[in-house]
């Protein structure tokens, strides 16, 4: 094992909540941070201690974390901007105090907390730093001004020194401190060999994600509906929950789609894994993504992704060699899918998807993190 980094500071919007003597936060974030903590001797987090909505909580495996308190703040409304102005002196005081303590400063971007941290880290040019940019790094995408500002500071190697910026995908023409970095869900032990699937049987699609407008679940349901209308038997196993669930259930009932659409709600990772093992395709027609986890998870088990070209998706699916990229418009999406379905060797495409995704396991993620801290 490499020598451990002595003092690691995490700057994050994810709330760090103390319950019954343990620290809790958003479960996928905890899973990754446990790996970072494994290679450090002391860990401190600067983050809100509360958050204005429910989150999926999990306890950190490390028990000796210390916290720097900052209040939750936002810039999305005039009243929140005014409140944030009054909160900012405390936020800045805590940021400087925390960064002065650290040997390695790790920012979790993009967020309001990390936007402030991007400015404060400029005053610590000799400290070792890293950033996990979990949003869409595509320079040509439509981004909020706060996200663009964070990207501009992180790209600037004069203002941002001794920093490795970890982004999803490979982007040509980037500055030398920008490094491709992949998240992971499954371990090496969960790999399976490639197994051909019968594409003459009724097609099985899996959707795994929040039922929110950005994921376009209604378009996904209509996509399956149209395949059946056009004589291609297909069904959708839909995993996830969210504010659109009632609307989707009403649409399924009105269109009498119970025979081909099943809403499972939130399910354990093992349940989704079993569905992916038998599915032909996984489908994600998002408006925007950082790391499209659902795409990578389906590919890991030989599901061909059907997806829109957002964030690093085109890179993930090899520009269409290991997945089907469609436009976010129903007629165009269905027509293109049918064209590829009728003209491509789907087993070859699925095998390529599996081979690519199985490179990026939780085991490799741990090695990559150890390299960043080393």
pLDDT tens string 313-348:
989 999 999 999 999 999 999 999 999 999 999 999
Q: Which of 167, 139, 145, 191 is nearest to 356 (CA)?
A: 191
Per-residue pLDDT tens digits for 192-213? 999 999 999 999 999 999 999 9
Model pLDDT, residue 172:
85
pLDDT band at 2 (very low <50, low <70, confident <90, very high): low
Q: Of 297, 299, 303, which Cα lies nearest the Cα of 356?
A: 299
Give one DSSP letter per residue of 23-92, joined into a string.
EEEEHHHHHHHHHHHHTEEEEEEEE-S--SS---EEE-S-S--EEEE------SSHHHHHHHHHHHHHHH
Percent of the chain exceeding pLDDT 70 equals: 98
Q: Is the peptide bond before 295 cis (omega within 30 degrees of 0)?
A: no
- Express each pLDDT in 128-154 by its tens digit: 999 999 988 988 888 889 999 999 999
Q: What is the mean pLDDT of residues 15-37?
A: 88
**What pLDDT does residue 243 have?**
95
Tell me which residue has tokens 């149209």. Answer: 226
Which residues contact residue 142 at a Cβ distance below 8 angstroms, ignoring those fewer than 6 apart? none
Q: Please choose, from the candidates 207, 325, 321, the residue with its C-alpha nearest in 3D space to the C-alpha of residue 262.
A: 207
Whether the Cβ atoms of residue 222 and residue 330 lie closer than 8 Å to each other: yes
Higher pLDDT: 200 or 57? It is 200
Q: What is the strand order of the sheet 178-180 is part of?
A: 66-69, 40-47, 5-11, 104-109, 128-133, 163-167, 178-180
pLDDT of the residue at 1: 47
C-alpha–C-alpha distance, residues 181 and 35, integer Å: 15
> Distance between CA atoms of 286 and 311, rounded to whole angstroms?
10
Residues whose CB is less than 8 angstroms from the CB of residue 226 and which lie 6 or more positions away in sequence, other chains included: 330, 334
CB atoms within 10 A of CB 251: 17
Interhelix angle 362-373/27-38, nearest 10 degrees: 50
pTM of the prediction?
0.86
Domains of the chain are 5-185+362-373 (3.40.50), 192-357 (3.40.50.2000)
Q: What is the mean pLDDT of residues 36-46?
A: 94
Is residue 287 exposed (0-12), middle (13-18) or buried (19+ Cβ within 10 Å)? middle
Q: Could you tell me what percentage of the chain is helix, strand and coil, using 3-state DSSP and rounding each to the nearest 5?
A: 40, 20, 40
Residue 279, pLDDT score: 98
Using the predicted structure, report yes or no on whether residue 125 has a pLDDT greater than 80: yes
Beta carbons within 10 angstroms of residue 114's beta carbon: 23
**Inter-helix orientation angle 112-120/78-101, to 10°:** 50
CA 33 to chain centre: 14
In contact, 44 and 34? CB cutoff 8 Å:
no
What lies within 8 Å, CB to CB, of 330 at 6+ separation is: 219, 222, 223, 226
The pLDDT value recorded for residue 18 is 84
């Amino acid at each position: 094992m490499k020598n451990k980094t002595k003092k690691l500071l995490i700057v994050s919007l994810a709330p760090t909540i103390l319950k019954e003597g343990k620290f809790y936060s958003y479960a996928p974030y905890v899973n990754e941070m446990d790996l970072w903590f494994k290679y450090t001797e002391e860990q401190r987090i600067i983050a809100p201690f509360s958050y204005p909505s429910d989150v999926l909580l999990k306890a950190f495996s490390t028990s000796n974390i210390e916290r720097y308190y900052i209040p939750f703040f936002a810039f999305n409304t005039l009243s929140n901007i005014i409140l944030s102005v009054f909160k900012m002196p405390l936020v800045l005081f805590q940021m400087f105090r925390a960064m002065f303590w650290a040997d390695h400063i790790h920012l979790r971007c993009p967020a309001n907390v990390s936007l402030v941290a991007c400015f404060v880290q400029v005053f610590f040019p000799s400290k070792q730093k890293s950033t996990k940019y979990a949003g869409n790094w595509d320079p040509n995408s439509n981004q909020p001004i706060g996200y663009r500002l964070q990207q501009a500071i992180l790209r600037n190697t004069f203002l941002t020194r001794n920093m490795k910026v970890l982004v999803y995908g490979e982007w040509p023409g980037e500055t030398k401190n920008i490094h491709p970095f992949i998240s992971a869900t499954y371990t090496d032990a969960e790999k399976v060999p490639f197994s051909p699937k019968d594409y003459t049987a009724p097609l099985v699609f899996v959707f795994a994600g929040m039922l929110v407008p950005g994921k376009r679940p209604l378009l996904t349901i209509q996509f399956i509906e149209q395949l059946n209308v056009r004589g291609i038997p297909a069904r959708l196993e839909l995993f996830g929950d969210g504010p659109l669930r009632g609307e989707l259930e009403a649409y399924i009932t009105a269109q009498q789609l119970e025979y081909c659409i099943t809403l499972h709600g939130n399910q354990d990772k093992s349940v989704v894994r079993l569905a992916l093992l038998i599915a032909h395709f996984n489908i994600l027609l998002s408006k925007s993504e950082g790391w499209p986890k659902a795409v990578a998870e389906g590919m890991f088990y030989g599901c061909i992704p059907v997806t829109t070209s957002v964030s690093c998706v085109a890179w993930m699916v090899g520009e269409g060699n290991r997945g089907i990229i469609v436009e976010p418009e129903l007629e165009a999406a269905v027509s293109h899918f049918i064209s590829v379905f009728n003209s491509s060797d789907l087993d070859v495409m699925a095998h390529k998807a599996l081979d690519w995704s199985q490179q990026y396991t939780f085991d490799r993620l741990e090695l990559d993190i150890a390299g960043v801290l080393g």
